[in-house]
């Protein structure tokens, strides 16, 4: 089949169009169908075997028919009486050339199918059920409220859809559409690190770690990419990719989103703080932090016209309606924190693993001199600021752009701007597609006062169109943080059933994995106010008016904590593991032993 693509939207695709997976072989033999195909550009081969068996007593004849590499089928003839059930077991196994030489794919897959069919459907279903029971036990959110079924269904659907496609082998990442559709050609974006990853790090830290491994395993490609972009040192991760190579077509909406480097670094640091996995920092983390930081130290300059502050020009921030901008607030903020984390990693290694530091200095040709420059950048990062409104505009030019007048846009074109208007028309207006500066303020909320966040939220609330599915969940979380509880609930409600109710009218192309994870975040990071600051959990719990209670679980440094919020109190129960210290509503609290509960009056 051909991938569906639209020629009208530069974000979605600019071609080449037509079939992208070329069939190499297709065989139908007795009960087995076997397929192998290779992607045209990246040359990745996928092998897929499927075994079919009528397990009830009805079979009278089987036929296999093979016409060519595109058309093969199996036929099963059964004799059935009215109301009788026929059972067909179909077992499918996939593997790819990332895992083994293409010549070994078929043998491997047939053997996997053989084992699966020996074990039988019942065994496999049971194993899958146990696996998912464990997932729900750690990731599930329970809400008690009237008429909550629809939200519960939305939450569960969303969690399932993000957990299923998050790969566990360290060689693959996770598509923005999960495993459900062809939208964005299966590519991985920052959606994984900034939206999905925080859910996994607290519920399935091993899966989160595999996703980091995937980035680590593609570091060489990111280094090569940085050279193409003119950076002599460091690594630049691709905006969209599968095998680690940049797969963006239209660079202003792709490669220019340099913030992906800092996003990956942010996820890595979150993982280190939540799990305390210092070995990971030594083995892989420090190298990733150094290599991503190096690009930040090269991409900008200390600009005289900005009082010697460090400026980063011609990048695209998260917002895809304002591209190739100077000093995108989100990018500068995340870049500065990426550099800060890299400095800490180097210090940590020098003190705790000097041999590894030495190795890295040699491998990366890294010297202390670089640290001095990083420190200067950290001290002098430039942020656009509007004195009159006392807010951070999204970038240097944002306040100069033409005000957006939606009444001039016919209603049927409003949600499809790139499909209906030239990019320049969109980019010259003062409006925003999705959470951008606000996202930075959520991720680093400890660096801003509540008043500051509120002023910025009020401003961005007016200019954000939420045309991206990555937007409402973030606004909801920030709304919770500043006490706009009704608004937070409204945003949560939109996110929770976005795909089930197809609010964005594009479910045909697949799920919106980032938003799905954003629903979990809206409850845990939003209503319950969870942040991990300086490696410590902090909460600011709130119970939405519409609910009687809600509860969720978090894994933190090997311990399992259950948090339950009811009217007037929040309970923190240590289900498993060692003592956990945390902050709740600004003061310290702890649970010391398994079975302990700390109760906070609200």
- Exactly one of 151, 167, 189, 460 binds ligand IFM (CB under 6 A); that residue is 189
190 lies in the site for ligand IFM, by CB under 6 A: yes
Closest to ligand IFM by CB, 33 vs 514, is 514
Closest to ligand IFM by CB, 254 vs 529, is 254
Kind plus residue range of the DSSP H or E element containing 306: none
Residue 35 DSSP SS3: strand
Closest to ligand IFM by CB, 244 vs 510, is 510
Contact present, 197 and 211 (Cβ < 8 Å)? yes
320 lies in the site for ligand IFM, by CB under 6 A: yes
Cα distances (angstroms) measured from residue 562 to each of 270, 378, 387, 453, 573 = 20, 37, 44, 29, 5
Binding segment for ligand IFM (CB under 6 A), chosen from 40-48, 186-194, 261-269, 492-500, is 186-194
φ, ψ of residue 229 in degrees (nearest 5) = -85, 5
Least distance CB 265 / ligand IFM (angstroms): 17
418 lies in the site for ligand IFM, by CB under 6 A: no
Closest to ligand IFM by CB, 328 vs 468, is 468
Binding segment for ligand IFM (CB under 6 A), chosen from 118-126, 188-196, 410-418, 479-487, is 188-196
φ, ψ of residue 258 in degrees (nearest 5) = -60, -20
Instruction: Using DSSP bridges, classify how beta strands 559-566 and 569-576 pair: parallel, antiparallel or unpaired.
Output: antiparallel
∠ at Cα 515 (296, 569), nearest 5°?
100
Least distance CB 417 / ligand IFM (angstroms): 12
- Exactly one of 45, 468, 472, 551 binds ligand IFM (CB under 6 A); that residue is 468
Contact present, 278 and 352 (Cβ < 8 Å)? yes
Is the bond preceding residue 16 a cis peptide, omega within 30 degrees? yes
Q: List, in order, residues 6 or more apart from 534 with CB less than 8 Å away.
A: 273
Closest to ligand IFM by CB, 456 vs 468, is 468
Closest to ligand IFM by CB, 274 vs 511, is 511
417 lies in the site for ligand IFM, by CB under 6 A: no
Closest to ligand IFM by CB, 318 vs 393, is 318
318 lies in the site for ligand IFM, by CB under 6 A: yes
- Exactly one of 13, 185, 191, 370 binds ligand IFM (CB under 6 A); that residue is 191
Q: Which two structure tokens, joined as six digits, stand for 424?
A: 């320049």
166 lies in the site for ligand IFM, by CB under 6 A: no
- Asked whether the CA dihedral 346, 351, 353, 357 is positive or negative, the reply is positive
Task: Tell me 188's DSSP state.
Answer: B
- Gap between the Cα atoms of 227 and 242, Å rounded: 20
594 is catalytic: no
- Exactly one of 176, 357, 426, 443 binds ligand IFM (CB under 6 A); that residue is 176
Contact present, 65 and 28 (Cβ < 8 Å)? yes
Least distance CB 239 / ligand IFM (angstroms): 8
Strand partners, 64: 74
- Gap between the Cα atoms of 461 and 465, Å rounded: 9
Q: Which of 320, 337, 370, 494 is catalytic?
A: 320
Size of the site for ligand IFM (CB under 6 A): 11
Least distance CB 253 / ligand IFM (angstroms): 8
Least distance CB 89 / ligand IFM (angstroms): 36
Task: Kindly list the residues in this chain that would bind ligand IFM in the complex (CB under 6 A).
Answer: 11, 176, 184, 189-191, 318, 320, 468, 470, 514
Catalytically annotated residues: 320
């Amino acid at each position: 089949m051909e991938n569906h693509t639209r020629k009208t939207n530069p974000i979605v695709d600019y071609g080449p169009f037509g079939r992208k997976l070329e069939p190499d072989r297709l065989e139908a033999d007795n009960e087995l169908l076997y397929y192998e195909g290779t992607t045209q550009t990246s040359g990745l081969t996928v092998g897929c075997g499927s075994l079919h068996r009528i397990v009830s007593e009805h079979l009278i004849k089987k036929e296999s028919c093979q016409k060519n590499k595109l058309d093969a089928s199996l036929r099963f003839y059964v004799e059935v009486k009215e109301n009788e059930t026929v059972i067909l077991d179909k077992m499918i196994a996939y593997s790819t050339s990332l895992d083994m030489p293409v010549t070994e794919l078929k043998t491997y897959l047939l053997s996997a199918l053989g084992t699966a069919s020996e074990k039988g459907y019942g065994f496999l279903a049971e194993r899958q059920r146990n696996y998912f029971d464990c997932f729900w036990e750690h990731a599930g959110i329970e809400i008690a409220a009237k008429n909550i079924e629809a939200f519960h269904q939305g939450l569960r659907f969303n969690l399932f859809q993000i957990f299923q496609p998050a790969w566990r082998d360290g060689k693959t990442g996770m598509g923005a559409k999960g495993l459900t559709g062809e939208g964005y050609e299966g590519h991985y974006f920052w959606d994984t690190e900034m939206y999905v990853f925080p859910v996994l790090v607290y519920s399935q830290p091993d899966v989160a770690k595999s996703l980091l491994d995937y980035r680590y395993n593609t570091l060489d490609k990111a280094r090569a990419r940085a050279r193409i972009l003119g950076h002599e040192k460091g690594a630049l991760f691709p905006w969209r990719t599968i095998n680690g190579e940049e797969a963006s077509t239209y660079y202003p909406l792709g490669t220019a989103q340099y913030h992906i480097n800092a996003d990956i670094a942010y996820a890595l640091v979150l993982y280190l703080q939540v799990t305390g996995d210092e070995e990971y920092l030594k083995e892989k983390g420090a190298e990733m932090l150094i290599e991503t930081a190096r690009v930040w130290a090269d991409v900008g300059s200390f600009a005289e016209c900005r009082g010697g502050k460090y400026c980063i020009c011609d990048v695209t921030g998260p917002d895809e309606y304002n591209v190739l901008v100077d000093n995108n607030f989100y990018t500068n903020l995340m870049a500065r924190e990426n550099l800060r984390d890299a400095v800490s990693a180097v210090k940590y290694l020098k003190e705790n693993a000097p041999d590894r530091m030495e190795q890295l200095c040699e491998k990366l040709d890294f010297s202390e001199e670089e640290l001095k420059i990083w420190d200067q950048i950290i001290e002098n990062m430039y942020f656009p600021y509007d004195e009159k409104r006392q807010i951070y505009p999204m970038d240097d030019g944002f306040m100069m752009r033409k005000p957006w007048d939606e009444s001039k846009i016919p209603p049927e074109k409003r949600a499809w701007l790139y499909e209906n208007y030239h990019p320049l028309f969109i980019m010259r207006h003062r409006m925003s597609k999705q959470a951008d500066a606000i996202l930075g303020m959520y991720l680093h909320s400890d660096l801003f006062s509540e008043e500051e966040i509120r002023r910025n939220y009020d401003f961005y609330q007016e200019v954000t169109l939420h045309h991206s599915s990555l937007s409402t969940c973030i606004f909801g979380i920030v709304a919770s943080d500043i006490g706009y509880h009704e608004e937070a609930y409204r945003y949560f409600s939109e996110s929770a059933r976005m795909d089930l109710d197809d609010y964005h009218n594009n479910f045909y192309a697949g799920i919106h994995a980032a938003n799905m994870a954003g629903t979990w975040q809206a409850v845990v990071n939003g209503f319950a106010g969870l942040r991990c600051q300086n490696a410590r959990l902090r909460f600011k719990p709130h119970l939405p008016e519409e609910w009687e209670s809600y509860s969720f679980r978090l894994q933190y440094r090997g311990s399992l904590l259950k948090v339950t919020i009811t009217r007037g109190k929040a309970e923190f129960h240590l289900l498993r593991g060692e003592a956990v210290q945390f902050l709740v509503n600004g003061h310290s609290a702890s649970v010391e032993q398994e079975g302990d509960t700390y109760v906070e009056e609200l």
